[in-house]
Chain A
Amino acid sequence: MKIVALASVLLCGGILIFGTAGFPDFGDPLSPPASHVSPHYIEEAVAETSVPNIVTAVLADYRGFDTLFETAVVFSAAMACFFLLRVFREDERSPSEKLYRHLPTGIILRIDPGGKAPQSNEFEPIDPTWVPHDMIVKTTTRLIIPFIQLFGLYVIAHGHHSPGGGFQGGVILGSSLILYALSQNLRMAIGRMGETVSAVFCAAGVFIYAGAGALCLLMGANFLDYAALSPLFGVDAIQARSLGILVVEIGVGLAVMSAMVWIYYNLASVGRHQEGL
């Protein structure tokens, strides 16, 4: 059986490698893709959309339909993680004693089952999968997270002029929250950005993207033809395409950010959202 599998893999691989001989050469100016649409994008993109970064113009404007469904794929990945992993009952396997840290002194209290939990807010509950209190890591991440988030916003907003855009900026924003969850603990991160907020943002991002397309339909143009939005923005049709790309990138960024955070919450805590990495 193994020999048959190996033979079929080698055969398929051989056919694929043989097929690459029929490809046009790397950078061949006469190849079909380089002789129809690509010259149009390269020559006309700036004039038609006023976006200097052609990649962004192609992704969000000319091929906007693809990107809409890429965002929908990210959204459904987050939904799939939620449906597969999330459990709403209490964890009966977790140790029944609770651990609390006294913040000013760093002393750990262990409360056995039936014991009274400390009420003062000088105590914070900590995970039984215990990570030692590390002041350097916590302080450094606390200082660095605002700058990471600012950079994420810059990447989303500056995608027109430099590499970047909604996907990358959204991932950077999401990873700043994951860094917060890693350096503090999962409960504090969930306190900052809860599950409901993540779910609503994730859906809202896709809604903004699809809504921008539907608005173009309402204005009497094709789906995702942002030039139709020029009366709403109060600019000419070319500038409207640039602004439409920005709206769509914000939607993508919102969806990707909350999808990353949401997937991390479910993955790190096996769907219980109590304690995790």
Chain B
Amino acid sequence: MSWPMDMLILVFVIISGIGAITVRDLLGAAILFGAYSFLMCILWAIMGAVDVAFTEASVGAGVSTVLFVAAVFRTTRRTRD
């Protein structure tokens, strides 16, 4: 049961990882990176590393996404120089 489940999540991890580096919108990249972290968190939990999953959920999907969005908020569409 759990074997195809983590394969499925691993595929989603790869898709969101590739999406985060290819998408041209910075905000979209930040959101995709948050999704990547959340999927990694599920993967850690499936593998039984609950402490790591907890850290990934709080740091990766939570605070670092907020910090990325805060940094993107300070950028402009076109470069100023």
CB neighbours of B67 from chain A (8 A) = 263-264, 267
The A interface is mostly helix, strand or loop, or mixed, namely helix
> Is B3 on the interface with A (CB-CB < 8 A)?
no
Minimum distance in angstroms from A34 CB to a CB of chain B: 15
CB neighbours of B53 from chain A (8 A) = 163
Give bound CA distance, A18 to B63, whole Å.
Answer: 36
CB neighbours of B63 from chain A (8 A) = 171, 174-175, 178, 260, 264
Given A171-B58, A268-B73, A277-B73, CB of A178 within 8 Å of CB of B66: yes
B contacts with A, residue count (CB < 8 A): 16
Closest to B73 in A: A277
Which single member of A163, A182, A267, A277 contacts B51 (CB below 8 Å)?
Answer: A163
> Is A205 on the interface with B (CB-CB < 8 A)?
no
Which residues of chain A (159-193) have a CB below 8 Å from chain B?
A: 163-165, 167-168, 171-172, 174-175, 178, 182
> Is A99 on the interface with B (CB-CB < 8 A)?
no
Minimum distance in angstroms from A106 CB to a CB of chain B: 24
CB neighbours of B62 from chain A (8 A) = 171, 175
Q: Are A167 and B59 in contact (CB under 8 A)?
A: yes
> Is A270 on the interface with B (CB-CB < 8 A)?
yes
28 A-B pairs (CB sep. < 8 Å): A53-B51, A56-B51, A163-B50, A163-B53, A164-B54, A165-B51, A167-B55, A168-B51, A168-B54, A168-B58, A171-B59, A172-B58, A175-B58, A175-B62, A175-B63, A182-B66, A264-B67, A264-B70, A267-B70, A267-B74, A268-B70, A268-B73, A268-B74, A270-B74, A276-B70, A277-B69, A277-B70, A277-B73
Q: Which residues of B contact A (CB under 8 A)?
A: 50-51, 53-55, 58-59, 62-63, 66-67, 69-71, 73-74
Which 5 residue pairs of A and B lie closest in terms of their CB atoms, listed nearest first? A268-B70, A163-B50, A171-B58, A55-B51, A163-B51
